[in-house]
Structure 1
């Protein structure tokens, strides 16, 4: 049942959010209050948050790498830990790179990278039409190609073997573990953005296999993965002829793999 919450009753709002399991209840209360213009609107948003909808979907945006990125309902919410991919990609991109952001979701990685680099070509790809629409909105007015399709399939053939960086926040949750995820992810984000197959690495193996063809010699692949999966992913990459290195950022509790295609 909805509670009669008023903007000035901050303590009651915080208490309700905390009781619902919101770890950052104080911050969420402030954001929900700022996003509404009436007690009724605040109550409605709070009811939806308590019912498990992601805060970012309610607000319409998420903070990522110091930027506000629009996030539409059903679209994967960018996590703070994915900043590791931005840092790693920027560190190896070189001047005027050609980059591809696979499984781009809202386009958050592309938004962060285009602000830091001067790419001669940048494309963002996702198989989910809702994500593609969201990414196009976030990247409107920028020189970025946003396309729908399965990994490398929609890319122009003339970029094969010429990419400097492929970055991918591909799904890596093992299928049996998806049911154990928090409801706000499991019920409100597209399953295609979460489910990585039986061991969580099905999509990442395909990303790595494609990178062998699409990267230039000396180009780099950057992906996110769980700490427990990193070794198996590195073995798969090594078997493809890539040279992988595990990345770790304690401040974000993030793990990734940076793999180089051998050559000049």
Structure 2
């Protein structure tokens, strides 16, 4: 749809979005206009955004690592800072053209953005993704299937094929890490419109991480790596958790994206 809609011109959309507190009102207006197919749909989309729905839920997709990732209502929206995690994973997983393709697992996958983006960066990989939230699984299947992967519904490793044990080269675990007592401090776009299971990391924010690291070594191939995002203040506890469960940990930081990633390995690569 062009900006010449007789019902809601571009300038009017920008004015409404800016009044609602949208900092990048012009950019958002262009995206909403491009996504709407009819004047009525345009009006409804602007109303949803003004009411506080995340832009990605309004237009149905998010840009992540140069890809258009489909994002359904209530599904966790991939953050730009998490692109740093994907870049680090890609650097670890790149192989010679004649080498076997990497085996990638995306736990707590949400929309499936991380796994899909990593496969895109690598060019080829055997991708498996899982999430406990049925809405996230439905959404992820649209993104991960397009990347040639499979999605499973269930709690962490539980739904994964047992044949993956000891074969996973890259284990992405974008676990929730917000302490329960801090959920109420999150922006309304996350607190109200994203599933709590994708945000709440328990009393200290590390409950889900502990469950991931407890058996990660059983799933990783020799030389495989677990990567997860955390906050700067949680790094000491996160590293302690990783090392206690038999993995070697190092921390990577990207100041530009305000991203902190822990990379945990289990030994030398096979073969």
Which range, TM-score by smaller chain? over 0.9
Give the match's secondary structure for 1:229: helix
Return closer, same or farther for 1:83/1:120 CA change in 2, 3 Å cut-off. Answer: closer
The CA deviation string for residues 55-74 of structure 1, in whole angstroms up to 9 with x for no partner, is 11110111000010111111
Tell me the matched-pair count. 260
Provide runs of 4+ in structure 1 moved above 4 Å. Answer: 5-8
Higher alpha-carbon deviation: 61-70 or 84-93 = 84-93
Q: Deviations over 1:92-142 (max 9, x none)?
A: 124321111001111111111111225552201111111111111112354
Superposed, which structure 2 residues align to 1:1-264 within 5 Å?
9-95=9-95, 96-117=101-122, 119=124, 121-263=126-268
Classify 1:162/1:204 alpha carbon distance in 2 versus 1 (closer, same or farther; 3 Å). Answer: same
- Structure 1 residue 89, shift from structure 2 partner: 1.0
TM-score, normalised by the number of residues in structure 1: 0.92
| TM-score (normalizing by structure 2) | 0.90
Distance between the aligned counterparts of 2:147 and 2:233, measured in 1? 37
Which whole-Å deviations, capped at 9, do the CAs of 1:20-79 have from their partners, x for residues lacking one?
A: 121211111111122224443322211111111111111011100001011111111111
Larger deviation, residues 114-123 vs 199-208: 114-123
Contact kept? 2:110, 2:140, Cα under 8 Å: yes
Per the alignment, in what secondary structure is the counterpart of residue 104 of structure 2?
strand
Preserved contact between residue 249 and residue 255 of structure 1 (Cα < 8 Å)? yes
SS at match of 1:151: coil
Shift of 1:248: 0.9
1:91 aligned counterpart, secondary structure: helix
How far 1:7 moved relative to its partner?
6.7
Kindly report the root-mean-square deviation, in angstroms, between the aligned alpha carbons of the 2 structures.
Answer: 1.8
CA separation of 1:72 and 1:14: change in aligned 2, threshold 3 A: same
Q: What is the CA–CA distance in structure 2 between the aligned matches of 1:6 and 1:51, rounded to whole Å?
A: 22
Deviates more, 1:39-48 or 1:164-173: 39-48
